[in-house]
Structure 1
Amino acid sequence: MHLRWWIAGLLFLSVVINYIDRQCLSVLAPIITKELNLSPTGYATILNAFQAAYTFMYVGSGLLVDRWGTKISLTVFMSWWSIANALHAFATNAFGLGASRFLLGLGEPGNFMAGFRVISECYAKQERALVNGLLNAGSSVGAMIAPFLITWLYAQLSWRGAFVVCGALGLLWIIPWWLIYRPLLPIAQAPEEKPAGWTAYLRLPQSFGLLSARFLSDPVWWFYLFWLPKYLVEGRGFSMQDMALVAWMPYLSSDLGAMFGGWMSGHLIGRGWDTLRARRAVMLPAALVMPISIVVAFVQSSAIAIACICIVTFAHMVWKTNLSTVTNDLYPVQVIGSVSGVFAFGNGLGGLLFTALTGWLVQYSGYFWVFALMGILHPLAFLLFRGFVREPLRLASTEGSH
């Protein structure tokens, strides 16, 4: 197997670990919120401690990736968030839990900023969406494994022991990463000319389109990541064991969506389609499927509700994989970490606001309006994307630099 696919496998595994660590709290939320006497708004506040740090560090971690390089930066990020996750085990009140969550949020976004740079350093355009799909599949697999693994660890070791064991996984991952990673620039097709500074790219309409599209659409994934186990237990009456038996299904469907979305646009490019046109052609039907979320809000059958959620998560990952890859398509490798961080800031900011709104809606009106709102976000995001991301980048001082 070529080295670039070993690297892709390690990136996939890093995201799996990232999401297992992130999911520890959401899987154990019914237990922890009861033990620490947290209301839905109190729980949302703790989630937002993570979201605030995560959003802030999107930009910071992107700059660090471009400054430190991929190998060192990802090692630092993995070490930080793994230790932060283990620290959750020592929380005895809402403040301690929120502080640990904040530290976790400082480390985790760097995983994706480094991953975006690896894609530009090691893969040709027709491979990039597939590798990006693999990264997004890692998030789905991690979220899918988490209910089983964490529920089992809780039964064996208590919820505190579950945090410690999950935190140790990332420290083990660092060993193979440090041994094998190196950039593969000939495959990356890096531009021959040095590009303009990364801030110059942010003034382009394409940058606004990518930022606003992520701001609107990514909060849907945050909801299913942080609130789905809690919704199944409290909103649908599932036991912890029953929740673990079905909570993996939407994450498996999102995994399939990530791989399909990446393969499909790459297939179209291989058949001679323009790169941006191929991405849009896959994103549009995915966006049009998303209003099925509204069905979840009022259907009585839990089986139908879970089936609809699976369709939604599949479509979301088809969308997200291609939206993320457009950044690699348009921007030079030398600035990819920095600009990706700014666009991901839109992701974090949207998630931060939506998480706070979700806590308020759940506490005072239930889940109905949450699912209804999520049904319209992707179509709105596509309109903005289609309106602003229409052609290759053109800087006044660097015409056609990429």
Structure 2
Amino acid sequence: MKRFPYIRWTIIGLFVGAMVINYLTRSILGVAAPAIMTEQNISSEQYSWITGAFQIGIMFQPVAGYLLDLIGLKTGFSLFVIVWSLITMAHGLVTGWMGFAALRGALGVVEGSGQPAGMKVVAEWFPARERGVAGGIYQIGASFGAVLAPPLVAWAVLNHSWRAAFFVAGGLGLIWVIAWLFWYAPPGRHRALSKGEHDLIVSGQEASLAKQRKRPPIGELLRRRNLWAIAGARFLADPVWGMLSLWMPLYLVQVRNFDLAQIAMFAWLPFLAADLGCLFGPAVVAWLQRRGVNLIDARRGAFTLGAVLMMGMMFVGTVDSPVAAVALLSLGGFAHQTLSVTVITMSSDLFPQDQVATATGVSGTAANLGVLIFTLVLGSLVDEVGYQPFFILLGLLDLLGAALLWTLVRKPA
């Protein structure tokens, strides 16, 4: 096969497609929630249990990460995508809130493979100086999947029913697997990788992080304070994403009186802003490094900047204009991905390649535990106290996350 000079970028580009589909499949429910809840007579509290089931399932990320570290990305991730695609399509056949909850729990288990797989791709295929950009690029897939959900659901409802959106998203996943099986291989075995690019990747990686063992040493990993610092920061950060992807469409309908057409026009804007945040975070890190700041401190600085910007979320419920509310939600999406892509990428800076997917899975479990607690509390109280107390909370949590990273993370020797 002809050898190409930039195989690593085609690999991350292909993986972006998986993340688009991953977040599209999980975001459809939030956009379709007003229609589903009306048709199925589902209450806000029952909806919180449906969304909570997904968060419980996705907390099995360490298992997914361990399996990916154990059997490799090509086979392991292909199986995960096939299963999540079939479960997504099954959403179009279910009725009743308990049926939705069961499917969401199962979907969470397999979709939890996305972040560990992405970080393993970054760790294997990119030198240290490019990992932030590569991580930001694949995180764009997460935001872009959420961008696509509102127009897809609007098309489905207007032309068929909300069920059609799940069938389309599941079918896209099955198509993607074919491309992955054809093109993906580790750098040492990729048939189109040139020697020059292989040497660039290997020479740019920390020798201490490139070692490989037959099984990821879980006990050793769980004793590392760096893991719990990253996990704690993600636990505090991810409730914002839960608000945007699971509750924002309901907020816009219930409080701002948006209809389906307005949801399709405006609900994707916070996720477009999040795409920009995926690029802004790595850009801040690179800017700080050019001024002599070391890599770990640069990542902590970018996270802190995102946490400061997140304070704008405190004012979403206080502004009179729906346009201003959407603008502040968009600022929240931008700020979240600025700091989220930064803290997720830190796993590849602090853990060896044979541990990075497992470490990302453990921190992902913490992140989704934060979303689970947040969404259950919101679902039980929102009809009584409204959304504003939760917006205030979201504006402050990431400042605590920044404090954790500055006090607990230790730089590699």
Please tell me the TM-score bracket, short chain as reference: over 0.9
4+ residue runs of structure 1 moved beyond 4 angstroms? Answer: 192-196
What secondary structure sits across from 2:257 in the alignment? coil
Q: Decide whether the 8 Å contact of 1:30 with 1:230 is kept in 2.
A: yes
Q: Over residues 275-329 of structure 1, what are the superposed CA-to-partner deviations in whole Å (9 max), with x where a residue is unaligned? A: 1011122121111121111111211111111111111111111101111111100
Q: Decide whether the 8 Å contact of 1:222 with 1:351 is kept in 2.
A: yes
Report the counterpart of residue 11 of structure 2 in structure 1: 7
Where do 5+ consecutive residues of structure 1 fail to align? 393-399
Q: Decide whether the 8 Å contact of 1:41 with 1:363 is kept in 2.
A: no
TM-score of the two chains, using structure 2 as the length reference: 0.92
Q: CA deviation at 1:197?
A: 2.0
Question: Among 132, 150, 153, which residue is 2:153 paired with?
Answer: 150
More displaced stretch, 185-194 vs 97-106: 185-194
Q: Give the Cα–Cα distance (whole angstroms) in 2 for the partners of residues 315 and 238 of structure 1.
A: 24
Query: Percent identity between the aligned chains?
Result: 36
What secondary structure sits across from 1:77 in the alignment? helix
Report the counterpart of residue 396 of structure 1 in structure 2: none
What secondary structure sits across from 1:312 in the alignment? helix
Q: Decide whether the 8 Å contact of 1:127 with 1:266 is kept in 2.
A: no
1:308 correspondence with 2:328? yes
Q: CA deviation at 1:7?
A: 0.7
1:134 correspondence with 2:154? no
More displaced stretch, 136-145 vs 197-206: 197-206
Q: Give the Cα–Cα distance (whole angstroms) in 2 for the partners of residues 264 and 380 of structure 1.
A: 20
Question: Among 332, 351, 367, which residue is 1:331 paired with?
Answer: 351
One-letter code of the match for 1:153? A
TM-score of the two chains, using structure 1 as the length reference: 0.94
Q: Decide whether the 8 Å contact of 2:13 with 2:138 is kept in 1.
A: no
Report the counterpart of residue 261 of structure 2 in structure 1: 241
Question: Among 30, 33, 46, which residue is 1:26 paired with?
Answer: 30
More displaced stretch, 359-368 vs 184-193: 184-193
**Paired residues, what number?**
392
Report the counterpart of residue 236 of structure 2 in structure 1: 216
Q: CA deviation at 1:270?
A: 5.3
Q: Give the Cα–Cα distance (whole angstroms) in 2 for the partners of residues 341 and 22 of structure 1.
A: 18
Question: Among 157, 182, 186, which residue is 1:183 paired with?
Answer: 186
What secondary structure sits across from 1:289 in the alignment? helix
Q: CA deviation at 1:253?
A: 0.5
Q: Give the Cα–Cα distance (whole angstroms) in 1 for the partners of residues 305 and 225 of structure 2.
A: 24
Q: Give the Cα–Cα distance (whole angstroms) in 1 for the partners of residues 308 and 164 of structure 2.
A: 43
Aligned Cα root-mean-square deviation (Å): 1.6
Where do 5+ consecutive residues of structure 2 fail to align? 189-197
1:111 correspondence with 2:131? no
Report the counterpart of residue 58 of structure 2 in structure 1: 54
Q: Decide whether the 8 Å contact of 1:361 with 1:369 is kept in 2.
A: no
Q: CA deviation at 1:193?
A: 4.5
One-letter code of the match for 2:141? G
One-letter code of the match for 2:56? A
Q: Give the Cα–Cα distance (whole angstroms) in 2 for the partners of residues 243 and 161 of structure 1.
A: 18
Q: CA deviation at 1:390?
A: 3.5
Q: CA deviation at 1:267?
A: 4.4
Q: Over residues 318-361 of structure 1, what are the superposed CA-to-partner deviations in whole Å (9 max), with x where a residue is unaligned? A: 10111111110010001111111111111011111111011122
Q: Decide whether the 8 Å contact of 2:225 with 2:408 is kept in 1.
A: yes
Q: How is 1:1-400 mapped onto 2 (pairs within 5 angstroms)?
A: 2-55=6-59, 57-184=60-187, 186=198, 187-188=201-202, 189=205, 191=208, 193-194=211-212, 197-269=217-289, 272-392=292-412, 400=413
